[in-house]
Structure 1
Amino acid sequence: MDHDIRLPKLLHHLPHALYGLARAGALPEEIAARLAADRDPEVRALRAECEGADGGRHGLFAADPEAEVRIALAQNPELSPELTARLGADADPAVREAVARRAQAPAEDLHRALLADPEATVRIAACRHRPPADLHGALLDDPVTRRHVVGFLDLDPGTAARLARDPDEQVRERLAAHPGLSAELRAALGRDPDPGVRGKVFERADATPRERARIFAWLTAGALRSAQDPGGARDEDFLCEAMLAWLDLAAYPWVEPDPLPHADSPFAGLRCAAARSTALPDEARARLLDDGNPRVRFLALAGRAEVDPVVAEELDRRQGGMVKHGGRPADCVTFPPETLRRFAADPDAWMRLLALRDPDLPPELLERLAADRDEGVRQATAEHPRVPVEALVRLLGDTDEAVVEAAAASPVLPVGVMRALLDRADAAGGPPPRLAACEGDCRHGASER
């Protein structure tokens, strides 16, 4: 029962407990109202971003004196068109920029206003959504929006030739990715001095094997220079290294319909795209399961109709905690409960995390994992739907901020504990925690959040 649960005497990260509580989805009205009126604008901002429209407080957040809160509200997917328009005319350009960056396209009149905003950052953000065709010319003439409108153009030869000569490499990079690019300009941009421009040509479906090989060799040479002589390397050489890493991660959607020609490509990115394809023959997929690149192995495994749990576990252990591609081999299989419970005692924290995928993990194992030496395991335990309340409340006193936030955000947290957290914060008094931390060192700037 709530009245039997007591907060830890020492809360190392009380502000972060409030941040986690503010991020929680459904909250009792009493708790949601107190968070919406909290003295710390970061707490109010977190609540503004996630609170549903049915809470009736969006108007309160829209009138908050702190721009941080209004910016957060602008990202709330349930924001009404009326409040979206109000924030789109906010006096603070950062708020207007946040409106322009919303995932939902704004109403046309608001979109036009944002595209014509006096602040460059707002105009750039507004180019996230397709601009009206009659504004393309003005956006091309504006140096700060030119690069952002290129992808929306119905490209004509004259405009394409002019953009290929643009001094802004990002304009040329967007042009290099345009589906309407001619073969002549593609070849020219494949010799561009900027690594990003050449990389976009490499990614194109219509790039010839010779073009792709030449670009890769040029990027590799630059990356080698940066590795061998970092002090004497040019900026372009470091960009070559970054572009090579990107080419391993790019999507190459044109490979997936016909993956077999690319299954043995010398380029890891193309092998990844082939491994991702459901049209890849089993024989080729088996070869990619032994590929030297861990991302290729993962995608080859993920594309199989049936995955052997033993193979998935072996590949996961080989990966060794490195997730550079948004997944791990264990994601490709549903381990039986007995295997997941075995992982709870594994010496590797990377594998102990898997135990928490068991929705019916016994309380004694959850108690053990809540006291794990690894903070990542403790955080995942705090997020488990069946974590014992006593263990969850102890995690509120954890020394790791992320663990504390996860525990406070848990739907298992009793209302009485939520109330006690807010009471403890109220009793602490004084200025908001972030400001108190820098008082004396940054007295003049403390109010500028």
Structure 2
Amino acid sequence: MARIVIEGAHVATLDPARREFVGHVVADGNRLVAVGPGPAPAYDDARVLDGRGCLVTPGFVNTHHHLYQWVTRGLAVDSTLFGWLTTLYPVWARITEESVYVAAQASLAQLALTGCTTAADHHYVFPRGGGDLLAAEITAAQEIGLRFHPARGSMDRGQKDGGLPPDSVVEDRDEILAATEAAIERWHDPSPDSMLQLVVAPCSPFSVSGELMRESAELARRHGVHLHTHLAETTDETEWCRATYGCTPLEYADQLGWTGPDVWFAHGIHFDDAEIKHLGSTRTGVAHCPSSNARLGAGIARTADLRAAGAPVGLGVDGTASNESGSLIEELRHALLFARARGGPQALTVRAALEMATLDGARILGRANDLGSLEPGKLADVAVWNLNTLPHAGLPDPVAALVLGSPPPLALLLANGRPVVEHDVLLTADEATLASAAARTQALLTADIR
């Protein structure tokens, strides 16, 4: 990896002082070695990028996704969450190692093209005979070049047990725990430079037994890995938990050991004041997925209240079957606008939205020591946004231009010091080939419901 110098750009560091300046960022291998105002130190062997008119930010962190859903987009477009799931579960029951690989490549490529350098994926559908689905998406991430946190999901409560998923995609609890532990032992790299860290992630209260939730938490803590699940996404879920367990989804999760700084929940829309206070006091994280939540009419998470309480809130695209664009940069704008629509013009600032996309996401994944800000010694995950464009011309605040304006093109995206996107072109795969493969795969999976 060559030494790369970005010179003359507006730099939003997200460091503890939240410094911003016109200056330089220098990556040497996979680490940042210099970040500061003014000209960069002189190097004999560096590649120099003219950053004038550009904004440099940390690479974005996507805290919740379902990569496999890229090949099931555009279905049940007017349904609620439960209706959408009922339509799509039979389709997802057909996924294979090949279709997951194709979908993951396309999803990760789109994430890279929208500023993402670290992606957490929640994969919980494992049809029998489908092959090694986790390996398929890990291979795709390695090829596209993003830092990857695959969450080994699971479901052990199918339709015969009163759950939503078809029985063909649920697994036996012992089988799940054994497969999850084997995945951690095979794939998880706990090192500071890690490109691959595993997460333990039962799907949701209405598709997973309490025993599996509790034993999964014990397994994760035994191995020192993080925990993730869906929670409090819809009012239907709250009503179901009250009817089934006599408590709210968060009360249920808390009883099973599912709060703390090693836990984050996807969505977290329907928390009351006391629950938000509890999430803050335990430093339990939330992956905010504004576009998907709006697409499914699930509601708007109380992001300002969660942040004020001390709960880290990151951003997530969610699956592209409920967010067909799959763009992480769009989530910054939507997070800001929805927070203000709910709580007024001071509810969320443009810089708070950028923090959610970067440093807060790194905190949720347990990577804040090495990711989420531009500081010497941190990993070289860097996005250079070209604001020399008609939509951004004349906007005086580069951060506001990024968050409120049209998504700008990427002059450069570095993941672990390696260029992944340059001049808005993906370097690690051919976009046309990915698009063609995804279209063919979706046609085969969904032929009988079109």
Q: So what's the TM-score if we normalise by structure 2? A: 0.29
TM-score normalised to structure 1 length: 0.29
Q: Which has the higher contact order (CA 8 A, sep 6+)?
A: 2
Which structure has the larger Rg? 1
- Point out the structure with the larger strand share: 2
Q: Structure 1 or 2: larger helix share?
A: 1
